[in-house]
Amino acid sequence: MAAALRIGVIGGSIAGCAAAVAGSRAGADVTVYERSEAELQDRGFGIVIPPQLHAELLGSGYLDAAMPTAPVGTRVWLTRQPGGRSVRELARQPSPVTPCNWGLLWRSLRASAGAVRYLRGQPVTSVGRDGAGRAVITTARSEEPYDVVVGADGHASATRRLLAPGLRPEPAPYAVWRGAIPLGAPAGRPRELELLRDAWVTLGFPGGHGIFYLIPGGPRDGDGSTGPGNRLLAYAIYGRPPEGAEPGPYVHELAKEHFPAAWADIVARGGRRSAACHPVADAQAPRVARAPLLLAGDAAGVTRPHTATGAVKALQDALCLERVLREGPDVSAALERYADERTAAGAHLVELGRRMGRAMVEETPDWPAMGQGEVDAWFRGVLAGTRHYLYEEAPGTAAGYGGRGREPVPPM
């Protein structure tokens, strides 16, 4: 089956490149259609992936061992001291993660795709079927038949509408600001930077929280290298801009009002151009594959970013795709197995993201009143028995990141 299989991938971002690697490793002839004319390595900010998944991707050839990462093993919970601007540490939890630079991850996947045809500047205008039941991808330049079409065209996926015509992302009542700051900007805050060299930080405030962690810089960041000394400070801050406020710049006002002085200063020093404001929403296709169509990454389902699983899910989708194609016996059966596994995984993620959003943004606890025991107990309630790689060693939870989606609990 695999030797004669033709796969067309719509979208050349992380999900699309990972799917291309999967198809190629399964012996298929793969073509990727990317609408953008430009290379994509400068897009995106920081992401984290489970150490076990990172090791699996290295071992199976999806990623190059030379791709830099910034692994840490601990999560530190902070808040602002009541009545002042100083910081108070609430708790520490074992939480090993492997932070990556989005652009460097994309570049590594792109290189691993090898002989795959990667067509830049070719947006797909439609997907139809021919008389033999194969999918046909149409662009302004060509019409090509494929045995499988992978929709990896992101959160606003047009391919998803073919499998779930009425599905629309459901918005959350808050936004997220993402940024990546060269370490030269917060250089005057050595204590904070020292903490971040060994941990990732959650900073709670009334009505939201912020996440801070270090990621590798790219060749255009810092000293121009991708070596271990080149780092960026990545953050994601969740909150609700007041009515009438300009959403983008408001993150600086939010940090000034609610953060300890040192952390507010870090956000301010990054400058207004370092942050991008995004709405938060989620959606999940009722079924993520029906031959000859298959959805991957955000096209299959969008979860709130608290779960830190956008890229993770796309990579696990690819591992699952490779496996089902290798197992055979035919394309339809392979896609059914993929749909069984990845639809359930996505649905669990959406529910977990909503639960985390309610607890950490919409109905935040009294952060200053909490200590280690209170944080542990509170977050056990948030997880409600769900396994998640960010909290795999938190008290009362099971370990594991879910591997390739074979677990009955959500593979993160």
pLDDT, one tens digit per residue, over 320-331 is 999 999 998 899
CATH superfamily ID and name for 2-42+104-169+283-358: FAD/NAD(P)-binding domain (3.50.50.60)
Give the CA angle between residues 399, 402, 405 to the nearest 5°: 165
Distance of alpha carbon 170 from alpha carbon 336, whole angstroms: 26
Contact 2, 325 (CB under 8 A): yes
Strands 46-49 vs 199-205: parallel, antiparallel or unpaired: unpaired
What pLDDT, on a 0 to 100 scale, did the predictor assign at position 273? 57
User: pTM of the predicted model, to two decimals?
Assistant: 0.91
Cα gap 190→176, rounded to integer Å: 26
Where helices occur in 4-121 by DSSP H, the ranges are: 14-25, 51-59, 102-112
Question: What is the predicted pLDDT for the residue at 272?
Answer: 60
Task: Quote the CA–CA distance of 251 and 277 in Å, as a whole number.
Answer: 9
Measured CA to CA, the distance from residue 68 to residue 56 in angstroms comes to 16
> Which positions of the chain have pLDDT values less than 70?
1-4, 40-44, 185-187, 219-229, 271-274, 392-412
Q: For residue 354, what is the enclosing H or E element?
A: helix 331-357
Structure confidence at residue 220 (pLDDT)? 62
pLDDT of residue 228: 60
What does the pLDDT read at residue 248? 80
pLDDT at 306: 94
Tens digit of pLDDT for each residue in 46-63? 999 999 999 999 999 999
pLDDT, position 404: 36
**Please, what is the end-to-end C-alpha distance for the chain in angstroms?**
30
CA pair distance 231, 216, nearest whole angstrom: 5
Q: Hey, how many other C-beta atoms are within 10 angstroms of the C-beta on 408?
A: 9
d(CA 12, CA 16): 5
Give the model's pLDDT for residue 40. Answer: 66
Q: What is the pLDDT of residue 26?
A: 95
Backbone angles phi, psi at 325, to 5 degrees: -70, -35
